[in-house]
Structure 1
Amino acid sequence: MATQPDHDSLRSSQFLTDSFQRGLAHWNRERLVPGFPSDDWQKRMERDLRMARLEGGFLEEVRAGIVDRAAAAPTDVDGFVAWFEELKQTGPGQGDRLFPWLAEEASPEQLKWFFEQEAAGEAGFDDLVAMTQIKMPTTAKLELARNYWDEMGRGQEAGMHGPMLDALVETLQVGPVIENTVWQSLALANAMTAMATSRRYAWHSVGALGVIELTAPGRSALVAKGLKRIGLSNRERRYFDLHAVLDVKHSEDWNREVLRPVVAEDPARAVAIAEGALIRLTCGQLCFDRYRAELWG
């Protein structure tokens, strides 16, 4: 049975609201787009500092809800990897009944709404990996590089994962925009971006990215099944079909080449990695709960 997060501690949050998460999402998109020098750069820095403090407050509030569970993670290598892999069965949001329903019962319009939310909240796994790998130990850095290379289609544009997602957006004729996205989806992307862009959460990002690889294949397979049921071709649902298979190997490689060596080098990293994984899963469960509420009425 999947473990439930403490939703009561989050319901009154000043950070888990439409206005805050949309503002944070807009800031993230603006600050990460390549730009040019401007005359108002000092004002922009002041705004960025204010937003970074708010982003930190948001992440720390979510972290407070999972810190006790993360503290119970073993810090020896074998024990920690076993604990981490067990999250596939017992982590927040795992086995959610939303996904079998998407596979078997959801209408085309319901699947399109679900995908619109997911696409708008997509933080870009390739960019998250690229930002996380900065100054990582050699073995971990090499595995993150291999993962990134797969995300980039091994140098072939047709194989890049991001454009595959964009193509599905076009096929389904959805308009994934921040204003039409529930705050839970934005919070998930904002949390992932916060961990990857702030070096104080670098080990958290390792855990968050690793747990995506661990838990995504089953959900991806069910979403692909639903898309096939409503008539999408193999090519059109390629993004989900690919992740249903490829992420299984990615997870095995991540756990062996990233988690094992970095925890062996410094056992204190285990707790931070555990926290990052639980932050990602908790934000995911908030999404699933909201999606069910919207889709099931």
Structure 2
Amino acid sequence: MLQLVHPAAAPATDDLLSDDTQRRLARWNRTRLAPGFPADDWRAQLDRDARMQRLEGEFLETLRAEVAGAASAAPTDVDGFVAWFEALEPHGPGQHDALFPWLAEEATLDEFRWFFEQEAAGEAGFDDLVAMTQVKLPVAPKLELARNYWDEMGRGNPNGMHGPMLDALVETLQVDPAIDRTVAESLTLANAMTAMAANRRYAWHSVGALGVIELTAPARAALVEQGLRRLGFSGKERKYFALHSVLDIKHAADWIREALRPAMAEDPSRGRAMAEGALIRLKCGERCFARYRANLWNAPKEEKRAFAF
């Protein structure tokens, strides 16, 4: 149970996952992670950050409580844990959602743009998450995260950096991934990933969450790339998803072999944290996919037309 250090009661779960709370956390994350300069009001900023960190902690503890039962079933031996982790790809929450074959085969351009606007707004920046997570990790996991980060950075080639590839597609699709235009479920996913990476008490949660992204992304990326191809986008414009549909297969195998296995071999108690992190990421994704389907499949025709910009 979460032990609060102040007399006020923790917000209700519905409040922690609400549009208002997730927008507050998203705006704070953008501000606190942005490079800046010293300011005269730094004491007031610290007070604000303390309030937001408590809110962030209560939010993440709520997500932990949701997956605690499933995470407790993860084996504590290395081989058993790896088998459990790998089984998340076919059987984890939200996996192989019907949304993605629909995007590949049926979605219109306007529907695709709405989907991509939500995804772009909820993108926390895999490269930055890896960079924050690797701080003070043991040697083997740290080296694997370093290799993964170097791939994200295009191995030193600006044209190969993954982040700018995504930004270029945002520009091509002419979408506006603004916080106020984004559904709460997408913001919740980004806020959860940022919280795990930015707070050292959740470092092993972040290792599990980032690893499960590598494990589960290829199938989704391949279907999104198929949809972009169907809609007439060029190979250059599809490159981000085409790359991740292939490269992340290798990344997942490397992450399991070089990060998860050594971490578990050194200290089996890390497995519970990594399992919770992986399940938090998948549960947040599951909520996103359900919300996207509800918006895209159930909206009346006149509302669907409003998705165009």
Question: Do these two structures clear the TM 0.5 threshold for a shared fold by scoring above it?
Answer: yes
Range class of TM-score, shorter chain: over 0.9
> Any gaps of 5 or more consecutive residues in structure 1?
1-10
Distance 1:272 1:64 in 2: 12
Residue 251 of structure 2: aligned partner: 250
Residue 149 of structure 1: aligned partner: 150
Distance 1:186 1:16 in 2: 10
Pairwise CA distance, 1:164: 0.1
Cα deviations across residues 16-72 of structure 1 (Å, max 9, x unaligned)? Answer: 111110110000000000111111000000000000000011111111110011011
Residue 98 of structure 2: aligned partner: 97
1:81 aligns with 2:73: no
Residue 286 of structure 1: aligned partner: 287
Distance 1:207 1:254 in 2: 10
1:227 aligns with 2:209: no
Distance 1:126 1:102 in 2: 26
Which of structure 1's runs of 4+ aligned residues deviate more than 6 A? none
* Counterpart amino acid of residue 222 in structure 1: L
Residue 216 of structure 1: aligned partner: 217
Residue 53 of structure 1: aligned partner: 54
Residue 239 of structure 1: aligned partner: 240
Distance 2:234 2:78 in 1: 43
Residue 136 of structure 1: aligned partner: 137
Distance 1:117 1:242 in 2: 21
* Counterpart amino acid of residue 111 in structure 1: F
1:34 aligns with 2:29: no
Cα deviations across residues 198-230 of structure 1 (Å, max 9, x unaligned)? Answer: 000000000000000000000000000001100
User: With structure 1 as the length reference, what TM-score do the two structures score?
Assistant: 0.96
Pairwise CA distance, 1:13: 1.4
User: With structure 2 as the length reference, what TM-score do the two structures score?
Assistant: 0.92
Residue 8 of structure 1: aligned partner: none
Residue 44 of structure 2: aligned partner: 43
Residue 182 of structure 1: aligned partner: 183
Distance 1:266 1:165 in 2: 37
Residue 23 of structure 2: aligned partner: 22
- SS for the counterpart of 2:16 is coil
CA RMSD of aligned residues (A): 0.8
Distance 2:71 2:186 in 1: 23
- SS for the counterpart of 2:117 is helix
Conserved? CA contact 2:133–2:206, under 8 Å = yes
Conserved? CA contact 2:13–2:62, under 8 Å = no
Conserved? CA contact 2:125–2:163, under 8 Å = yes
Pairwise CA distance, 1:142: 0.5
Pairwise CA distance, 1:95: 1.3
- SS for the counterpart of 1:65 is helix
Conserved? CA contact 2:103–2:227, under 8 Å = yes
Pairwise CA distance, 1:12: 5.6
Residue 168 of structure 1: aligned partner: 169
1:196 aligns with 2:197: yes
- SS for the counterpart of 1:211 is helix
* Counterpart amino acid of residue 266 in structure 1: D
Distance 1:145 1:137 in 2: 12
* Counterpart amino acid of residue 53 in structure 2: A
